[in-house]
Amino acid sequence: MMHLALKYCGMMWSLHVVSSASLCGASLQMERQMMMQNVMREQQMAIQLARGRDLFHWWMAFYVTAAVGAIAG
């Protein structure tokens, strides 16, 4: 018997046809845990990139303002 399985690949979900033999409880749970870990890892990386970008923008704004003040002042 064939079933449809939803898998997360990279940045999007995709639908796969799998046999019922591959849907046993332990392996399905392990696959879901691995998918969740990948999603969490991608979210953590996105958070780190956003933090770095925000910090960069803050420092650039500070130094540009300080430079303009030093030149004009």
Give me 38's structure tokens.
């990948």
pLDDT score recorded for residue 26: 77
Give the residue, 14 or 19, on which the prediction is more confident.
14
Q: Which of 13, 45, 48 is nearest to 32 (CA)?
A: 13
Instruction: State the amino acid at position 47 in one-letter form.
Output: I
Give me 37's structure tokens.
């870990």
Q: Give the total residue count for the chain.
A: 73
pLDDT tier for residue 25 given thresholds of 50, 70 and 90: confident
Instruction: State the amino acid at position 19 in one-letter form.
Output: S
Residue 35 predicted with pLDDT over 90: yes
pLDDT score recorded for residue 3: 59
* Mean pLDDT of the residues in the chain: 83
